[in-house]
Structure 1
Amino acid sequence: MTDLHADAPGPIAAGSLAAELRKACASNWDAYVNHPFVRQLAAGTLETASYKHFLIQDYLFLRHFARAWMLVAYKAPDLNEMRAASQTVDALINQELQLHVETCAGWGISEAEMAATPEARANLAYTRFVLETGHSGDLLDLLVALAPCVVGYGEIGARLAADPATVWDGNPFREWLDLYSDEEFQEVGRGACAQIDRVARARIGSDVTGSPRWSELCRIFGQATRLEIGFWDMGLNRED
């Protein structure tokens, strides 16, 4: 079967485990990276109320995801993997979360108000799935559950940067586009992909797709991707 994503821009290298997982859930992945929320962001036509709702929920989401990446460090077998996890935590806390805090401050919404906002159902479902996977499974299960977020946003950012239809000048969401298309975030995604490959080789060997664990890894990755779609839906439709 031809891999329609083989030349897709972004942090997922051809032949990587992340590329194989993406191919295994291709239709859901396409629905995720080409979601109407993403397209409206790129065009600058997204309703401000939807973006505001998304940013506040994503602020809450990223706090849980930072904890999940800290769990990666806890489960890591050596200092190299702990360092790799800590780099992702740093990007979450000091880059992504900071964008949310600064943007919402411009609307007169304090960080304390954001933190006190109830989590939407789509947010609860996604974050608890990842944390439960991390607590009940091993390090590889957790990394695969986390992958659609960090590598998916990297791919979305790179796709939009390469798309001539993306509006940059005067786009009210330019900061979001800049963050996820920037080389610094792309490097975070590449690091996450490389970490999955290292951990998979150490635990399973070179033939991951032919191993008894492959179907379960595909299930975890596919479920996380579907939850990403649900998160976009939540933002677009301002769902509680």
Structure 2
Amino acid sequence: MAFDFNQLQQACQGEWDAYIQHDFVQQLGNGTLAEDAFRHYLKQDYLFLIQFGRAFALAAYKSPTLDDLRQAKAGLEAIIGLELGLHVEYCRQWGISEAELQALPEARATLAYTRYVLDTGNRGDLLDLHVALAPCLVGYGRIAQWLNSRSETVRGEQNPYDPWITMYESEAFQAATAAEVEWLNRELADVSPRRFEQLVRIFRDATRLEIDFWDMGLNQRM
């Protein structure tokens, strides 16, 4: 039996739905999310991106093939060379300076999630690392799709968070999401049932930590 990403998701459907349809996401789509909650999320997401970059550096080290190494290099360059700069500019539009971002402490949810990903990658192989990253890599693209499927979602200038939705529904981000699912499908097709169950545990734990990250933003926890 060949496994794929859909089966990975279905094995954790309850956690996945709680993540994709979280109150933070719903309020963001409705345009009702408290601005201080969104700012808190943006600040911690900056710190998350730095650790995400480290995860791609680890992926490069773990890469068994040249194609995998190139993929990791492209991911690292996209985050450190491009996405962090865009994030800093977006934060500036919300009144958050780069100096403030650089001085931030990590919230407990940020620490727990990012270190889990790095620890999983260190202990396991490249597939373990990708599965731990998948709730973020794939999830944000799926969140944008889910928001667009809801009649309650407010688009345009009436919603201050519309640019966030636009970013993750973009052709470039959706293509990156599809490429990650394609890579996971290729790698999962060759695993044994026992190995698949190990990967399900990683995916479930990482998804639960994504839920905690939304909770952190919604409740402005440190």
Q: Indicate the TM-score class for this superposition, using the shorter chain for normalisation.
A: over 0.9
Aligned equivalent of 2:146, options 129, 141, 159: 159
Structure 2 CA distance for partners of 1:180 and 1:91, relative to 1, 3 Å:
farther
**Aligned residues with identical type, % of pairs:** 51
Shift of 1:108: 3.7
Tell me, which stretches of 5 or more residues in structure 2 are unaligned?
none
**Larger helix share, 1 or 2:** 2
Shift of 1:200: 3.5
Instruction: Show the counterpart of 2:180.
Output: 192
Write out aligned runs for 1:198-213 (5 A): 198-201=186-189, 205=190, 208=191, 210-213=192-195
* Letter of the 2:216 counterpart: M
Give the residue type in structure 2 aligned to 1:176. Answer: W
Q: TM-score of the superposition, structure 2-length normalised? A: 0.92
Q: Which runs of 5+ in 1 are unaligned?
A: 1-14
Partner of 1:5: none
Instruction: Write the mapping of 1:1-240 to structure 2, written as runs, cut at 5 A.
Output: 17-93=4-80, 96-170=83-157, 171-201=159-189, 205=190, 208=191, 210-240=192-222
| Cα distance change on mapping 1:40 and 1:95 into 2, 3 Å | farther
Aligned-partner residue type, residue 45 of structure 2: D
**Residues 173 and 93 of structure 1: CA distance in aligned 2, closer, same or farther (over 3 Å):** farther
Cα distance in 2 for residues equivalent to 1:94 and 1:49: 28
Return the offset for 1:85. 2.4
| Alpha-carbon distance in 1 for matches of 2:39, 2:98 | 13
Q: Tell me how far apart the structure 2 counterparts of residues 124 and 175 of structure 1 sit (CA, whole Å).
A: 27
Distance 1:112 1:120, change over 3 A: same
Q: Distance in 2 between matches of 1:227 and 1:95?
A: 25
What secondary structure does 2:193 align onto?
A: coil
The worse-fitting range, judged by mean Cα deviation, of 119-128 and 68-77 is 68-77
TM-score, structure 1 normalization:
0.86
Question: Is the contact made by 2:5 and 2:188 (CA closer than 8 Å) also made in structure 1?
Answer: no
Q: CA RMSD in A?
A: 1.7
2:141 and 2:83 map into 1 onto residues whose CA distance is: 12
**2:19 is aligned with what amino acid?**
Y
Tell me the matched-pair count: 220
Question: What is the CA–CA distance in structure 2 between the aligned matches of 1:96 and 1:44, rounded to whole Å?
Answer: 24
Partners of 2:52 and 2:209 lie apart in 1 by 14
